[in-house]
Each structure stands twice: as structure tokens, then as C-alpha cells.
Amino acid sequence: MDWKTPTRLVPASPDNIAAAGQRLREGKLVAFPTETVYGLGANAFDDAAVSAVFAAKERPQFNPLIVHVRDRREAEELAMFTPLAGRLAEAFWPGGLTLVLERRPSRLSLLVSAGLDTVALRVPAHATAQTLLREARVPIAAPSANRSGRLSPTTAAAVEEQLGENVLILDGGPCPAGLESTIVGFDGDKPILLRPGATTREALQSIIGSLSDPVGDHIRAPGMLKNHYAPRARLRLNATNVRAGEALLAFGAAPPRAGVVRNLSPSGNLKEAAANLFAMLRELDAVSESIAVMPIPGHGLGEAINDRLARAAAPRD
């Protein structure tokens, strides 16, 4: 394929994935689907390529990146595993869980860690992501494929809207989970839920017991900025009515009347709501400057949904 052609969004076919793997080895960028959201990938061993990710996203370099690897063996070449981390990896990899662990000496770019002594690692479950990792033959540093602070993309078209001129995009269809991975770090032997996400707190606790919440404002992992995942529109959370000029992001049966409505899940299914969250926020953002958001239960995937909504609604500089 001629990468200089205007078309940069291509189907995630075997030939295109193989060519994308070569592109990554050459230090170029590739956007690709995972089970959570689309990632903007670079060779994690290449300082210049990783730096290009920060530039393409306009991402502050104090915000670390997640490194995607093929399997636990590759992860253990890059980081020190604690016994609890090993249990979590065994239970949830491949899948929507990122582990923040102490780095080992390796070729891994220091930029992925944003000056920390740790690295965030994940083994994705999506078939396209797994194939791309095999073809690339290098770990892939890949934050979400969007401008920094904006809504994470769950379709290739959403990536193209923000980054289409800068990267090759492998179109593997909509991301099934629709929320970023859960991130767990460790303070000694104590596991800490740094970011709720596609793997629920309840599922994690069934394997390792209680999880602590982070203390303070120190950025220890991706997705911890107070204002993040934000549409351009202003969000009003836990709304039970709709004000003049507001669009409505609804949840459950019989939502309030509004001119423009998107319902995350008419049946009140949190898995469906998570899968729809970013796409529906993007649709409402295109037609309204204000969005009323109905209350979302806080259990299960609702914890991660509410985390994203709170960050999206946070005051902006």
C-alpha cells in the first residue's frame, strides 16, 4: 500500500495489519482498535516515535502512556511483577486491565513513563490489536487516539475526525467495551485503583480483595487528570429535568422530554451504557452547547461511567 495516498483509513485486513506492523517498526504512527477504545500506537522502544504520539495528541509529557504487549512473558521483560499483579494478570489478561509496575532496565523509551519509575502495561484482547502486536514485533505505546482531554474514540471515523491527517487508521469496527481499561497500581503490597474502567472493581476484588483509592493529585497513570474525556459542550450531571437549550444524555426507561435525546440504555444495562457513552456524547456535542446527563448507578461499570462524566464536566482552564 502507498502510505502517501490521501486515504489513511483502511480496513483491518491481514495485509493492512501486516503493513501497519512494518510502519510501527519504522517509527511511524498507527491507530488501531482494542476492546476498550481506539489507541494511537507507536513503537515503545523508539523515543522519536513515542514523542510523536505526544505531539499528535497535544498531550502533556507528564501524563504517562500505556504500553501494549503480546502476553505476560513480554510484560515481565519490561516490569517487576508482584504476587498480586500476577494474580490479576492471570485472571484478566488479555483484557481491559492495565497494571502499573516497577520498570526493569530495558530498551523501553523513558518517555512512556513520564519520568516515573513505573510503566503501565496491558495485554489487549481485541483480535486486530493482538495481530498488530505480532506483526510489529515490538511493544506498542498507545494512549487513546484523540486530542488530549477530548472524548475517546470508539470508532475509526471518530479517530479520523481528530487525527486523520497524522496517522494510518486500521478500521476494525466499533470497540465493544467503549470505556478505557481499568488501571491498578501498587503501594508496596497494597493494590490501588488508579482509574476505574472496563474491568469492574467488583471483579478485581473477587480476585485480590479490597482495593484502595489513590491519595492526592499526583499523576501516576493515564486518565488521572481532573479535566479529561471532555466534549466541547458543557455537561450538567445527575439531571432530573432538561433546561432550555440542553440536549439530554438519558439512562433507563421514560426519560424527560428534550429536543435532542440519546439514551445510553433504555433497559438500564450498564454494559450497554458503557459501550455507548463516548459515541453518544460525541453525537450530542455536535448539536448542542449544553448536555444534561441523567443519574447513572454507581456500581459495576457505573463507577467508570461516572468517573468519565465527572472528568468531562470538571471546570476547564
Domain count of the fold of the chain? 2
Same domain, 241 and 107: no
215, part of any domain: no
284, part of any domain: yes
List the 9-11 sheet strands across, edge first: 9-11, 168-171, 30-32, 39-43, 140-141, 66-68, 118-122, 97-102, 182-187, 190-195
Same domain, 176 and 269: no
C-alpha–C-alpha distance, residues 229 and 133, integer Å: 26
Same domain, 156 and 297: no
228, part of any domain: no
Q: Taking each helix axis from N to C terminus, what angle separates 270-285 and 302-313, rounded to the nearest 10 degrees?
A: 20
Same domain, 89 and 38: yes
pLDDT for 4: 44
Alpha helices in 93-143 (DSSP H): 127-136
Helix (H) / strand (E) element for 263: namely: strand 261-263
Domain of 296 in residue numbering reads as 234-313
Same domain, 122 and 14: yes
- ∠ CA 282-288-290 to the nearest 5 degrees? 100
Same domain, 40 and 169: yes
C-alpha–C-alpha distance, residues 185 and 101, integer Å: 7
C-alpha–C-alpha distance, residues 144 and 152, integer Å: 6
Same domain, 70 and 174: yes
Same domain, 142 and 253: no
The domain that holds 303 is classified in CATH as: 3.40.50.11030
Contacts of 274 (CB under 8 A, 6+ apart): 177, 178, 179, 198, 301, 304, 305
- ∠ CA 296-299-303 to the nearest 5 degrees? 70
Same domain, 194 and 284: no
Same domain, 203 and 238: no
C-alpha–C-alpha distance, residues 94 and 70, integer Å: 9
For 87, phi then psi, to 5°, come to -65, -40
Contacts of 253 (CB under 8 A, 6+ apart): 266, 267, 268
Same domain, 181 and 272: no
Each of the 317 residues of the chain gets a pLDDT tens digit; together they read 444 444 489 999 999 999 999 999 999 999 999 999 999 999 999 999 999 999 999 888 888 999 999 999 999 999 999 999 999 999 999 999 999 999 999 999 999 999 899 999 999 999 999 999 999 999 999 999 998 888 999 999 999 988 866 689 999 999 999 999 999 999 988 999 999 999 999 999 999 999 999 876 666 777 666 666 778 999 999 999 999 999 999 999 989 989 999 999 999 999 999 999 999 999 999 999 999 999 999 999 999 999 999 999 988 65
Whether 133 contacts 24, CB under 8 Å: no
Q: Max Cα separation, the chain?
A: 58
Establish whether the linkage from the previous residue to 266 is cis, with ω within 30° of 0. Answer: no
List the 234-236 sheet strands across, edge first: 234-236, 290-293, 247-250, 261-263
Same domain, 145 and 284: no
Whether 79 contacts 102, CB under 8 Å: yes
